[in-house]
Structure 1
């Protein structure tokens, strides 16, 4: 199963990309948005890592650890997704000019 290591690697690279982009921006709203996007990819990294560990080892211990990783990954990705949607709405509010 080569797909899980590829998904793990892509998720980790995108997580690092968004974390580096946080340091390159000065706008606090943009930093919060990028942080929420990085949380989505951190969650997907943890999620796919949990699946990969069970597929690779296939023991009861790896099943329990994999379930914990799956739950943590889903939780992290869900919170990041919700925060990302919130900050997208904030961007739209700041982009629209206010009429006098």
Structure 2
């Protein structure tokens, strides 16, 4: 199962990338958009980390902790997708003239 560590590593790298991109821009709308993108990366990290840890250990305690992480990761992912959709529409509305 090499795919889960690759996804975990990629999501952490993208999370750091978007957090640095927030610091480099001055536009508040772009900062909010990058923050939403980083939320998606954080959610995918937590989600796939939980799956990977359960598949690695396969104990009851890792199952319970994994379920908590799955829920938290899903909540971050869903909120991030909603925010990205909202801020993308706002950016198009303001700057597509």
TM-score relative to the length of structure 2 = 0.98
Q: Which has the larger radius of gyration?
A: 1
Q: How far off its partner does 1:88 sit?
A: 0.3
Match of 1:69 in 2: 69
Cα distance in structure 2, aligned partners of 1:30 and 1:39? 14
**Counterpart residue number, 1:92:** 92
The aligned counterpart of 1:58 is 58
Question: What RMSD, in angstroms, separates the aligned Cα atoms of the two structures?
Answer: 0.6
1:43 aligns with 43
Deviation of 1:35 (Å): 0.1
Secondary structure, aligned partner of 1:64: helix
Separation in structure 2 between the aligned mates of residue 89 and residue 31 of structure 1, nearest angstrom: 15
Structure 2: which 5+ runs fail to align?
none
* Matched length: 97
The TM-score with structure 1 as length reference comes to: 0.95
Structure 1 segments (4+ residues) deviating >6 Å: none
Deviation of 1:46 after TM superposition, in Å, equals: 0.2
